[in-house]
Amino acid sequence: MSEVSEPLPLRAEGAAGRGASAPAVVGAVGDPVDALHEHVGRLVLAHPGILRLEPTLLGALGRGRRTGLDGVALSVHGRVVDLDVNVATRNTHQARASLIELHAQLVDLVTRHGFVPGTVEISVLAVDVGA
């Protein structure tokens, strides 16, 4: 199991260096936390090094909010948002490099939604060798 929960050195080019970029935040109707939750899930799943979100223990037990994005947990404290993301990675991409890049993209996404990034934890729960 690998976990990234501390600020890591980031490349200035981010995803743009590969020709991909984080999706732009569009005006969402409804709860801003729900909109952020959805955008986090889409951003994670769009990353080429990520195969899928991995369910959390609470999600597997049928507790908590069922949004189809089990594997993404947000905790909001005023304007500060803590993220906990559980993923399965592809063996065709280096997990650490993928997580460093994804971490930077998630911090940027939280900021673009008007929140202050708190802790961003990304846990690799599986590496799929068949992906």
CATH of residue 45's domain is 3.30.70.1350
Distance CA 27, CA 109 (A): 13
Q: What residues in the chain have per-residue pLDDT under 70?
A: 1-29, 56-68, 131
* Local structure of residue 25 (DSSP, 8 states): P
Could you tell me if residue 19 is inside a domain? no
Q: Which residues contact 28 (CB under 8 A, 6 or more apart)?
A: 35, 38
**Domain span at 82:** 31-128
What total number of domains does the chain contain?
Answer: 1
What local confidence, expressed as pLDDT, does residue 61 receive? 64
pTM value is 0.73
Could you tell me if residue 1 is inside a domain? no
Could you tell me if residue 17 is inside a domain? no
Could you tell me if residue 18 is inside a domain? no
Could you tell me if residue 70 is inside a domain? yes
Beta bridge partners of 51: none
Phi, psi of 82 (to 5 degrees): -100, 135
Could you tell me if residue 97 is inside a domain? yes
